Structure 1
Amino acid sequence: MLASQVEQQQGDDEKKPLSISEALDVAKGSLEKLKLRVLGEVSEVNVKPGYANAYFTLKDETGTLPCQMWHDRFEKCGITLEVGMMVELVGRFSLYPKKGRMHFQVFAISVAGEGMLRQQVAILQRKLEAEGLMAPERKVPVPAYPMKIGVVTSPRGDAIHDVLRTTRRRFPLAHIYVAGVPVEGARAPEYIVEGMRACFRARVEVILLVRGGGSYEDLMPFNDEQLARAIVKCPIPVVTGIGHEPDTTIADLVGDLRASTPTGAAEAVTVQTSQLAAQLRSMGEYIAQRQQQRIQHATLSLDRYATRPIFKDPRSMFASDLITLDIAHDRLSRALPANIERDKTRLAAYASRLSVKPAIFDRASAKLENYSSRLRSSTASLDRNTLRLSAQCDRLREVSSKLLTPAQHEVALKAGRLHDLSPLATLSRGYAIARDGEGRIVKHASALSPGDTFEVTVADGSICATVDSIRASERSDS
């Protein structure tokens, strides 16, 4: 459109020229129709929370490009721009007419090259860290002296030789189980996980996940999410030694122990034999010292017990009891004869008193026999009286039965007459009793007036009613 307008203006010199604002509007409209993808290096960044836009500049060998991006869109992309970072932008050119300045309006931004890989790793790191997979309390402690060590690495790399050489030098008693797997390529994480499973099946005590140095792209298999989750689920402690000192991968962060190099990983799970021997000597000396102290303490205690009188003369332990026993024996030997003589005297007195008792017993026996005979005669008289009383009771029941029969008949007749005369019986035959408000029985219709309330008693209850009207009987009152 701009070219057509320029050509049209050149071909027709008689037309009015465009103003500055009109020319800028034409340029702005033409530029905003071009949507481009731009690659460059960040040379300047100006991102402030209060601004509506994020401002930054890209450059290459020969030129610079001022860029702006809406602040909310910039925050959603999740990228922290730094000077020197290679980025790829999607946007269009725009023109600010008031200032006559052109800039690149950015729609999307992504990190290019190695930076993109680092961004992906950073996003995965934040995700796993939010799940708690990198928490120290989750990690499994490494055994102090593992005898079976599994190594997952490339069988042709320098890492396996470093591990074998270090282990053979420091702790040759350990058995090494090597799971040779590829450590580069798209399927490397899958093979590494399978190598860890093989070590688990071999029942090793610790797994070394190692490889030598390389570029950031070479270490990407160790930034794989599935490998990271396999390390977390592994019940055997995993020690990582990947790359060189500054290299840090996701596997290092989720592993149970991180070493800077493969050699460092081997050193972390082994102990030097000389150091082990020194520890054993130190422990032996400590045990010997402690045993010597215990023996000395026991000897002093034994000497202290040996000086006690009881161990020199065991009878001194019972000396006071023996003296008490002798005193008691002496007192008993003197008391027994006197008590026996006193008992003999009392026994003789009781014997003399018992010799007089037979005469008293004879008199008492005669009295007892007399009382027995009198009791027997009283028992016979009681039996006669009992028979006589029984006969009189029989006669009394016979006479009372004869006397009660006429009275019972008379009571039955009167009860029947009373039942016939009872108002309740009358009510049960369908009659009713009317009472006025004061409880008096209504005998005449004139006793009530219209509007009065009265109570009608029937067989099974009472009915409250109100007089609406009064109809006099045709028969005259007698």
Structure 2
Amino acid sequence: MAMNSSAEEPQPLGRVVMAVKDWVGRLGEIWVDAQVIEIKRRSGPTQFLTFRDRIADVSASVTASALVLDAAGPLPEGSRVTARLRPRLWDRNSSLSFECLEIRVAGEGRLLARLEQLKRKLQAEGLFEPHRKRRLPFIPRTIGLVTGKGSDAERDVLTNVENRWPARFRIAYATVQGPHAAESVMLALQRLDADPEVDVIIIARGGGSLEDLLAFSDEGVVRAVAEATTPVVSAIGHEQDVPLLDFVADLRASTPTDAAKRVVPDFHQEAEVVSQARHRLDGALANRLDVAQRWLDDVRTRPVLLDPTSTFGAHLDKLELLRHRLASGIEQRLRHEESDLRSAISSIRAMSPKATLERGYAVLVDGGGQSVSSVGDAHPGTRINAYLADGQLELDVVGVTEEDSNG
């Protein structure tokens, strides 16, 4: 009911606000279709969101409890939702907001929420960890390709690889869209992974909607890639498309064309690198040879190589000096030894029996060859021999006279 008022009889503002609040409160709860454009999560129980009409340029402030948001599951900004709201008017500033009592993700947002839940589950299992990523071979012998038969993705990969490097392909065609796409991709992947000649596998598909690319976020496909022994490259859709396959693959390519550039090197670039390396190697070898030649020239100018016998002169002089010293030493030693010998000979001769005999002494020997050194060794009538310096005498003993020991 409208309130009566005039310039002479105005209504109090508070009364008007309370009337509006009462009218708003009588609207009750209502389900709305909207898009979430902003979420402000706080530590308190009340969370703040902004909804916008999906067609008209109309937005509204919404509050919700943390329990309501958590019950909705992953809710990224931009999600389409169906929400049960209750309008509220705040007394203090007369601002209108809506309290969200229930929220459900709708349309593509529902798929995004479901994929976000699966992503968190697989991430918690460690399937996306960087240490699981395998290095791609520099030059693969054979490239495995999982793609749709006759697709643009197949043509892009084959053409760009051929333009960069001569490579062999093993293609396993699969259904890349629809209810059986995930199973078909897994079977193709397993077939190529079992081939020992395949060094890397590319899973490629062109762009499409979220529903079109849903097979490449399938849990079975993700786990099959994680269990593969061959490195896998994900090349799904356009650069903005990010299926769960991108997180588990060993390498994520933004497009099939980008995948071709990532799995093989560019022949012309590598040839240029080899040419530059050979040029640097030739320069290094030439520089090394120049250094060795300068060293050899320097060695050849040394006196010992110009005249190898030049150093012998000093050594010959030293050798001659040593020989002279040796000869002098030997001569001196011989003179010394000769002097000692002469002295020894003189001593021997002075003490020899012959020298004694030459001074007039004789050596007496009886008939048995025994020396006669005492008068007791001879008896009258005994014949003895006397040895003199110049001969021998035979003597007969005619008498024996003993010398008195007392005097």
Q: TM-score, normalised by structure 2?
A: 0.67
Q: CA deviation at 1:201?
A: 2.6
Give the counterpart of 1:343 among 337, 354, 372.
337
Give the counterpart of 1:220 among 204, 214, 217.
214
1:193 aligns with 2:186: yes
The residue number in structure 1 matching 2:395 is none
SS in 2 for 1:109: strand
Q: CA deviation at 1:315?
A: 2.5
Give the counterpart of 2:319 among 308, 317, 325.
325
**Pair 322,72 (structure 1): closer, same or farther in 2 beyond 3 Å:** farther
Gapped runs of 5+ residues in structure 1? 1-23, 360-478
Q: 1:266-277, aligned counterparts within 5 Å?
A: 266-277=260-271
Q: CA deviation at 1:162?
A: 1.6
Q: 1:30-69, aligned counterparts within 5 Å?
A: 38=31, 40-42=33-35, 49=42, 50=44, 52=46, 69=64
Which protein is richer in helix relative to its size? 1
Give the counterpart of 1:72 among 67, 72, 75.
67
Question: Contact 2:217–2:243 at 8 Å: present in 1 too?
Answer: yes
Separation in 2, partners of 1:314, 1:58: 102
Give the counterpart of 1:255 among 249, 254, 257.
249
Percent identity over paired residues:
31
Question: Contact 1:79–1:110 at 8 Å: present in 2 too?
Answer: no
Q: Deviations over 1:53-94 (max 9, x none)?
A: 656668688999997643334245444464x632244x6979
The residue number in structure 1 matching 2:281 is 287
Q: Deviations over 1:439-458 (max 9, x none)?
A: xxxxxxxxxxxxxxxxxxxx
**Pair 284,46 (structure 1): closer, same or farther in 2 beyond 3 Å:** closer
Q: Deviations over 1:160-186 (max 9, x none)?
A: 1221122222212x1111122222234
Q: Deviations over 1:385-426 (max 9, x none)?
A: xxxxxxxxxxxxxxxxxxxxxxxxxxxxxxxxxxxxxxxxxx
Give the counterpart of 1:307 among 278, 288, 301.
301
Q: Deviations over 1:20-69 (max 9, x none)?
A: xxxx9xx99xx89xxx9x56223786756346465666868899999764
Separation in 2, partners of 1:201, 1:155: 21
Question: Contact 1:153–1:181 at 8 Å: present in 2 too?
Answer: yes
Separation in 1, partners of 2:65, 2:142: 58
SS in 2 for 1:152: strand
The residue number in structure 1 matching 2:366 is none
Superposed CA RMSD in Å reads: 4.0
Separation in 2, partners of 1:45, 1:313: 96
Q: CA deviation at 1:147?
A: 3.0
The residue number in structure 1 matching 2:177 is 184
The residue number in structure 1 matching 2:405 is none
Question: Contact 1:58–1:67 at 8 Å: present in 2 too?
Answer: no
**Pair 53,239 (structure 1): closer, same or farther in 2 beyond 3 Å:** closer
Q: CA deviation at 1:328?
A: 0.3
Alignment: residue pair count: 327
**Pair 119,178 (structure 1): closer, same or farther in 2 beyond 3 Å:** same
Gapped runs of 5+ residues in structure 2? 1-21, 354-407
Question: Contact 1:153–1:179 at 8 Å: present in 2 too?
Answer: yes
The residue number in structure 2 matching 1:237 is 231
Q: CA deviation at 1:240?
A: 1.8
Q: TM-score, normalised by structure 1?
A: 0.58
SS in 2 for 1:202: coil
Question: Contact 1:54–1:71 at 8 Å: present in 2 too?
Answer: no
Q: Relative contact order: is structure 1 or structure 2 higher (C-alpha 8 Å, sep ≥ 6)?
A: 2
1:353 aligns with 2:353: no
Stretch deviating more after TM superposition (142-151 or 39-48) = 39-48
Separation in 1, partners of 2:211, 2:38: 27
